[in-house]
Amino acid sequence: MAQLSLFLVILFALIVPLLMAKLRVNAVPTAIAEIIVGILLGASGFNVVGVTHDLSFLSNLGVILLIFLSGMEIDFNLLKPHQGKKKNKQAVNPMRIAVGSFLSISVVAVFLGWLLKWFGLFNDVALAAIIFMTIALGVVIATLKEKDILRRPIGQTILLTAVLGEVIPLMLLTIYAAVNGGNTKQLWLIILLFMAAIVLLWRSKRLYLWFNDVTKNTTQLDIRLAFFLIFALVTVAEKVGVENILGAFLAGIVMKLLEPSHETKDKLTSIGYGFFIPIFFIMTGVKLNLRSLLAHPRSLTLLPVLVVFLLIAKLPVVLIYAKKFGYRNGLAGGVLSATTITIVLPTLAVARKLRVITSLQSDVFILAAVIVCIFCPVIFNAIFKLQPEDRIKEKVVLVGATALTVPVLLDLHDKWYSVKMMTSDEEDYNLYKSRVPSLDLLPELTEAELEQNGAFNGNIFVAALMSDKENLRLAKLARQKGDFKRIIVCQKRMANEEAAQLAEKGIEIFNLGNVSAALLRALIESPAVYRVLTDTKNALYSVVVRNTHYTGRQLADWDVAHDITVDRIHRGQEWLVPHGYSVIEEGDELIFSAKSQAADRVRKVIGRK
């Protein structure tokens, strides 16, 4: 029986996502589908899977990895203060909105917990309040990624609210378990140990970078380090009387602070979501006993109350979001914040261990959380609508208003880029300010002046003044003060050795002389190529293939193949000539030509992970 149970759980962990893909069930999170399958396989359904020692071990490891990966999802860049001199009352501060939202959730959650006790439905106010204020970070992240708004203002706000809805309840659960377990004297030791662990491991960042340099396929040192962090902090947590999930979460935070590569994140995600985490969700459904609930009608009366209370607890989020994002998206964000499952499950496990909740009551709470998690993402997808400010993909900071840069600014795709232009020349400012609303005059271009005007807050930095020396100074300053993905510096002339040194520092050179000569040569030798390069309506574009629906397939089989012409494929260090039978791999960069509308759709679909 034990071997059969293990086989069935692993089998359905494989089948569930395949069936969802085949039936195109995109609205329901995979985790919820796995819980439903577990209900059907367990005592509530066909009773073909039982709770065995092996499955319990794998399930416990699954929840630890789930919480660890949740800790790794926190983007600490969102916690940095917003730069900029001008304080716009309409500007969005994701952190401030998220903190205000979660504080209001906490107040309502405590009130709802007290109401349950007052009505005689559930006596533990603290436990109920912790459950009501939790938010399923994993479900929220998956939904925001699907909508491609994770880095937009509303996406960042919902994400930070969800982070608080996972971190704070975890901390409160630790205190709750310590108080009810008689370990209150060890709370100070818990805090001290974990803070020391975070500081020490964060300071060991150079060691981690060295790990990346010496790792190879047969050692995978980055993955070994991740599991060492998990088990080290989990062990410490258990030794000092704290729940292991807090140790796992802190291990995820430490791993995030070490700034692992995307490859490392992908491998850890593959290990977790590829094997262990599905077992945890399926076993959650297996342990859920709906037959016992049906045998106790009084318990069923608690179910609709819990579902309603889980939604009401997030009602303040709707009111706060609506002021910044409009009523429609405010409602959508509040509904999505009501999803709660990942922290509810370990919270109830702790409560059962402490004997402060019955198995019957625990099942009712889990069932309520499953119901909310099924419907909330569906409602969010139906209600949410991208606003113009949320469609902007990257912020470009361009220093220098000239006859070269102003036309470039006006031709940039407004759905992909938001451009902030600055100049130190008053004559240029007066000449172009009517054409460029985002143009600012900074007479000195000092470090303080640039920082106050938000020059170091963006994704792409371009230095395009008339002075080569000044452009280099600004580019190096941007590398030092900002967190730019790309830094481009315009130069009239530059030695190859100096250009190579700047390239090593991540600064790209736009050599005006070389570009002009290349365009003139193209016009003489290949006029059609020149027209392609200079046509703003049918231009050349690039996209990195991240959507696995298009990987491992021939280019001719793509449903968007008729909209684009692929000119080159950049794979690793090679440039490949494409054919209809070319098989595209994940991470390939395609250089293609298309009309702007088609390019917009292709980049959105193919570039989305």
Nearest-angstrom CA–CA distance, 254 and 256: 5
Annotated domain spans of the chain: 2-78+94-185+262-389, 392-533, 537-606
Between 182 and 608, name the one with better pLDDT.
608
| 279 pLDDT above the threshold of 90 | yes
Assign 3-class secondary structure to 130-170: HHHHCCCHHHHHHHHHHHCCCCCHHHHHHHHHHHHHHHHHH
Nearest-angstrom CA–CA distance, 557 and 566: 13
> What does the block give as tokens for 168?
């704070």
What is the model's pLDDT at position 391? Answer: 57
Q: What CATH number is given for 2-78+94-185+262-389 in this structure?
A: 1.20.1530.20
| 168 pLDDT above the threshold of 60 | yes
Between 149 and 64, name the one with better pLDDT.
64
> What does the block give as tokens for 482?
């900002």
> What does the block give as tokens for 279?
């077992």
Q: Are strands 589-593 and 565-571 parallel, antiparallel or unpaired?
A: antiparallel
Task: Give mean pLDDT, residues 546-553.
Answer: 79
Domain 537-606 fold: Alpha-Beta Plaits (3.30.70)
Q: Is 349 helix (H, G, I), strand (E, B) or coil?
A: helix
What is the model's pLDDT at position 536? Answer: 61
Nearest-angstrom CA–CA distance, 551 and 528: 31
Q: Are strands 583-584 and 589-593 parallel, antiparallel or unpaired?
A: unpaired
Buried residues in 191-202 as b, exposed as e (16+ CB within 10 A): eebbeebbeebe
At 583, the amino acid letter reads V
Q: Per-residue confidence at 103, pLDDT binned at 50, 70, 90? A: very high
What is the model's pLDDT at position 217? Answer: 61
Q: Is 418 helix (H, G, I), strand (E, B) or coil?
A: strand
Q: Taking the CB of residue 298, how many other CB atoms lie within 10 A of it?
A: 8
Domain 392-533 fold: Rossmann fold (3.40.50)
Q: Per-residue confidence at 252, pLDDT binned at 50, 70, 90? A: confident
Angle between helices 53-72 and 2-22 (to 10 degrees): 40
Nearest-angstrom CA–CA distance, 238 and 236: 5
What is the model's pLDDT at position 87? Answer: 42
Please give the DSSP secondary-structure letter assigned to residue 561: G
Task: Give mean pLDDT, residues 340-353.
Answer: 80
**Interior angle at CA 47, CA 13 and CA 293, nearest 5:** 105
Q: Taking the CB of residue 423, how many other CB atoms lie within 10 A of it?
A: 27
Residues 460/434, Cβ–Cβ less than 8 Å: no
Q: Which of 8-22, 410-424, 519-533 has the lowest mean pLDDT?
A: 519-533
Nearest-angstrom CA–CA distance, 87 and 212: 42
| 535 pLDDT above the threshold of 80 | no
Single out the residue of 349, 336, 309, 263 nearest to residue 67, CA to CA: 349
Between 109 and 419, name the one with better pLDDT.
109
Task: Give mean pLDDT, residues 126-140.
Answer: 88
What is the model's pLDDT at position 250? Answer: 79
Beta bridge partners of 541: 592
Q: Is 419 helix (H, G, I), strand (E, B) or coil?
A: strand
Provide, rounded to the nearest whole percent, the portion of the chain with pLDDT above 70.
84
Residues 183/241, Cβ–Cβ less than 8 Å: yes
Residues 62/277, Cβ–Cβ less than 8 Å: yes
Using CA atoms in the order 476, 482, 485, 488, what is the torsion angle rounded to 10 degrees? -30
| 400 pLDDT above the threshold of 50 | yes
At 391, the amino acid letter reads R
- Using the structure block, give the residue that is written with the tokens 């290990």: 271
Please give the DSSP secondary-structure letter assigned to residue 83: P
| 216 pLDDT above the threshold of 90 | no
Q: Is 577 helix (H, G, I), strand (E, B) or coil?
A: coil
Between 297 and 50, name the one with better pLDDT.
50
Give the pLDDT confidence of 413-425 residue by residue, as tens digits: 666 778 889 998 8
What is the model's pLDDT at position 242? Answer: 63
What is each CA distance from 518 to 290, 469, 522, in whole angstroms? 72, 24, 6
What is the model's pLDDT at position 502? Answer: 79
Q: Is 272 helix (H, G, I), strand (E, B) or coil?
A: helix
What is the model's pLDDT at position 113? Answer: 93
Nearest-angstrom CA–CA distance, 100 and 113: 20
> What does the block give as tokens for 14?
């494989």
Residues 260/289, Cβ–Cβ less than 8 Å: no
Count of alpha carbons within 13 angstroms of residue 595, beta-carbon side: 5
What is the model's pLDDT at position 133? Answer: 93
Task: Give mean pLDDT, residues 369-391.
Answer: 79
- The reply to whether 392-533 shares the fold of 2-78+94-185+262-389 is no
> What does the block give as tokens for 382?
């139906």
**Interior angle at CA 379, CA 374 and CA 380, nearest 5:** 105
What is the model's pLDDT at position 15? Answer: 93
Alpha helix (H) ranges present in 215-314?
221-239, 244-257, 262-271, 277-287, 290-294, 297-312
Buried residues in 462-483 as b, exposed as e (16+ CB within 10 A): bbbbeebeebbbbbbbbbebbe
At 266, the amino acid letter reads D
What is the chain's percent helix, strand, coil content, to nearest 5?
65, 10, 30
Task: Give mean pLDDT, residues 243-270.
Answer: 78
Q: Per-residue confidence at 281, pLDDT binned at 50, 70, 90? A: confident
Nearest-angstrom CA–CA distance, 249 and 254: 9
Nearest-angstrom CA–CA distance, 237 and 243: 6
Q: Which residues contact 62 (CB under 8 A, 6 or more apart)?
A: 272, 276, 277, 278, 279, 280, 281, 283
What is the model's pLDDT at position 78? Answer: 55
Q: Are strands 460-463 and 394-399 parallel, antiparallel or unpaired?
A: parallel
| 561 pLDDT above the threshold of 80 | no
199-204: list long-range contacts, CB under 8 Å, 24+ apart: 201/229, 201/254, 201/257, 201/258, 202/254, 202/257, 202/258, 204/258
- Using the structure block, give the residue that is written with the tokens 């309040």: 129
| 174 pLDDT above the threshold of 80 | no
Task: Give mean pLDDT, residues 459-481.
Answer: 88
What is the model's pLDDT at position 599? Answer: 77
Q: Which residues contact 111 (CB under 8 A, 6 or more apart)?
A: none
Task: Give mean pLDDT, residues 16-20.
Answer: 88
Please give the DSSP secondary-structure letter assigned to residue 420: E
Provide, rounded to the nearest whole percent, the portion of the chain with pLDDT above 90.
17
> What does the block give as tokens for 256?
């995030």
What is each CA distance from 471 to 30, 113, 194, 478, in whole angstroms? 50, 60, 45, 11
Q: Per-residue confidence at 115, pLDDT binned at 50, 70, 90? A: very high
